[in-house]
Structures are given as C-alpha cells and as structure tokens.
Amino acid sequence: MKIIKTINELRQWRKTVDSVAFVPTMGNLHAGHLALVREAHQHAENVVVSVFVNPLQFGQGEDFAAYPRTLQADAEKLQNAGVAVLFAPDDKELYPNTTQAFNVEPSALQNELEGKFRPGHFRGVATVVLKLFNIVEPQIACFGKKDFQQLVVIQQMVAELNVNINIVPVDTGRADDGLALSSRNGYLTETERQQAPQLYAVLCNMKDELQKGRRDFSQLEQQAVEKLNNQGWQTDYVEIRRRSDLAHARPDDNQLIILAAAKLGKPRLIDNVEVDLS
Ligand code: PAF
C-alpha cells in the first residue's frame, strides 16, 4: 500500500490505474470503516481511502482539536484490508489559502436535523468531498448509512452537479449490543458505554410501533424524546422522515427513516433506523 500525502503524487499514481473505488474517512478506523473498504473492493480493482480530519465541517466548540488522529494504526488496518493507496494530506495541502472562498452549498436540507445543531457542517462536508472526488477521480465512492443525512447530501450533490461517480451506501456497523460503531464512541466513559445502546433500542421500538400501524408521527417522536431524556440523555432530535430525500414524512409514505441525535454526558451520538412499510 502506498501512503500518499500530496495531491500531485496522488494524481501521478491515478494516471497509472483505471478502476478506482474511494472511501473518504476522517481516520480512527473501526470495523464500520473496514466494511466500507470491503464493499469498495466489490466495485473496483483499486481502493483508495482518504484520512483527513476536515476543519471545515467542525463548528466552534466542536471536537476538531480533540478528534482522534491515529494514522499509523489506520495505515496498518488499511494495509491488511488490501487498500492500494492511503491518501493522507495535511490541512495546508487541501486548504492552502487561509479561507476556503468557494464552497459547495447544499440544499435547504443542510439546515435541518444535524444541520440545525451543526450550522455549516454539511457545507464543509460537501466541499471537502467534492475536492477529494476531483483529486481521486474514482468511479464509485462508499458512504456509511450511519451518517444518513450526509449520504443524502452527497447523493444530491453528485446528481445536481453532474458528478460522474456512483455513490454506494453501506449499512451501519453495530456492536453486539446494537450501538452504532463510531469514532466518537471512544469519548464514552465505561458507564456511558453501557447505557449507549438505549438510543438504538428507542429507535427500534418506534419502528415496531410504525409497523403495528401507528402513524401519529409527532407523538411517537415526542414519546421517544421523553423516554431518552428520562434515561438521562439530552436529546437534540428524534424525527421520522421520508427516506429518499429526508422530507417530513406523510402518513402514506412507506419508505421511512427515523433519525436521532442525543448527548449522553459530553459525547453526542447519532443513529438511525430504516422502516419499510410497503
Ligand atoms: O463521514 C466522514 O467521516 C466525513 O464526514 C467525510 C465524508 C470523510 C468528509 O470529511
């Protein structure tokens, strides 16, 4: 596996191969990322993984400085996973100017759900992903469904800007007790880690209620928020949305998704559960 740190070197390597699948990450790789790499191998001869903690997508007071940077351990995992290139640029390489003047402006969806609590986050994500796409020039790119809103923003970006890359969604990796795998799980204390699967359990319970026929979405959402808050969480949102575009769900929609974000102590976790009512 090559470890490449500059855009120039990546472009030189890219000229030597045809078929490339891409997995963008912020590093601190876990089994969920490795599932993305396995999926990428199904689609192309060469898999490129980027590791870059993107300052543009972190707001003030968020964990940019504290975000775990574990490049050496990441490189070992990627080498074992048969990756052709690990692209690990530094901040200056991707953002040589002090400000990023040109940005990708996602649709109004960027201000809902996660975007309501993380202003500017999806502009930062879309901008770095388009930059990485322009550098790596893959035919396909894999994105985890755990960050479902991010997946939809990227799908909308490639559709509306005619980016010729096939976006492949990959199911969320989970621990045995249901907790969605995330680099941020490392922030949980031992007690919080025990409690953390409650978020997924509450979403699964809502899914059961929907499958039994309930369509009182607001009440279901409110009950879930109360349940989490009574268990000691500080819930930012629990919302039932239409899966294809994350519009507000209507009672006759049958492909739904329940999305949630909540804090357990300091760490903030997100998760979602897909619901098929057809
Ligand atoms: O999902 C992530 O890890 C990041 O948002 C991404 C897609 C690598 C962009 O920085």
Whether 118 and 6 share a structural domain: yes
Lowest-confidence region among 41-45, 94-98, 116-120, 196-200:
94-98
- 176 belongs to a structural domain: no
pLDDT digits (tens, 9 = 90+) for 216-262: 999 999 999 999 999 999 999 999 999 999 999 999 999 999 999 99
- Residue 225 is predicted with a pLDDT of 98
Above 90 in pLDDT, residue 153?
yes
- 163 belongs to a structural domain: yes
- Residue 99 is predicted with a pLDDT of 85
Q: Is-contact 191 197, C-beta < 8 A? A: no
Mean pLDDT score across all residues of the chain: 97
pLDDT digits (tens, 9 = 90+) for 179-194: 999 999 999 999 999 9
- 73 belongs to a structural domain: yes
- Angle value at C-alpha 129, between 113 and 102, nearest 5 degrees: 90
Q: Is 173 in the pocket of ligand 1 (CB under 6 A)?
A: no
Q: Of 125, 144, 170, which residue is a domain's last?
A: 170
Confidence of residue 98 (pLDDT cuts 50, 70, 90): confident
Q: Is 125 in the pocket of ligand 1 (CB under 6 A)?
A: yes
Whether 232 and 140 share a structural domain: no
Whichever domain contains 161, its CATH number is 3.40.50.620
Q: Of the residues 33, 41, 43, 248, which is catalytic?
A: 33
Residues in the chain: 278
- Residue 221 is predicted with a pLDDT of 98
Confidence of residue 132 (pLDDT cuts 50, 70, 90): very high
Q: Is 141 in the pocket of ligand 1 (CB under 6 A)?
A: no
Domain enclosing residue 145, as ranges: 2-170
Rounded-to-integer distance, Cα 88 and Cα 223, Å: 44
The pair of three-digit structure tokens given for residue 163, joined into one six-digit string: 């980016």
- Residue 110 is predicted with a pLDDT of 98
Mutate to test the pocket of ligand 1, among 147, 153, 182, 183 (most ligand atoms within 8 A of CB): 147
Q: Of 146, 170, 194, which residue is a domain's last?
A: 170
Whether 195 and 158 share a structural domain: no
- Residue 254 is predicted with a pLDDT of 96
Whether 116 and 165 share a structural domain: yes
Whichever domain contains 218, its CATH number is 3.30.1300.10
Whether 163 and 27 share a structural domain: yes
Q: Is 114 in the pocket of ligand 1 (CB under 6 A)?
A: no
Taking the whole predicted model, whether its pTM rises above 0.85 is answered as: yes
- 46 belongs to a structural domain: yes
Dihedral pair phi/psi, residue 174, rounded to 5°: -130, 150
Lowest-confidence region among 24-28, 70-74, 174-178, 264-268:
264-268
Q: Which residues have C-beta within 8 Å of that of residue 114, sequence separation ≥ 6? A: 121, 122, 149, 150, 261, 270
Whether 75 and 207 share a structural domain: no
Tokens 């979403």 label which residue? Answer: 203
- For the chain, the domain total comes to 2
| Secondary structure (3-state) at 229 | helix
| Nearest to 277, CA basis, from 197, 186, 207, 183 | 207
| Nearest to 182, CA basis, from 59, 63, 85, 49 | 63
Q: Of 119, 137, 170, which residue is a domain's last?
A: 170
State the closest ligand 1 atom to the C-alpha of 57, by its place in the atom list counted from 1: 10
